[in-house]
Structure 1
């Protein structure tokens, strides 16, 4: 079974993007480094490769992959 990894739409205030793994909220990512750390905390040893390799198991919702700025801005 593969965990559902979701990087939600950028916040309107520009504070980053909420990250959930398996439905659990891991926090607000302000860059790929934060995302890698959240995935490591979720137990994914290959987090660096998943993020840098644009893995199809990471769902980027409401914005472009690897962009963390304000929505609509």
Structure 2
């Protein structure tokens, strides 16, 4: 099975586009600036316990790796 959730490489501002595949279509959930943001987006999309799947490549594909630039973090 291909990953259902895609987290794009960081943009110039440090945000990463998060999308999910639903019914064969890619749906953008928003721009994340931290793991917490990704978790919030996935909860809103109806996934229970999304923090448990962030490191599971069957569920989440991290383009450019799961790395955040601390200088761009919000909050």
What TM-score do you get using the length of structure 2 for normalisation? 0.74
Partner residue in 1 for 2:17: 18
Instruction: List runs of 5+ in structure 2 lacking aligned partners.
Output: none
Distance in 2 separating the partners of 1:6 and 1:68: 18
1:13 positional shift: 2.6
1:12 positional shift: 1.7
Partner residue in 1 for 2:46: 43
Query: Which 4+ stretches in 1 moved above 6 angstroms?
Result: none
What SS does the corresponding residue of 2:17 show, helix, strand or coil? strand
What TM-score do you get using the length of structure 1 for normalisation? 0.75
Partner residue in 2 for 1:9: 9
Q: Does the CA contact (< 8 Å) of 2:7 and 2:17 recur in 1?
A: yes
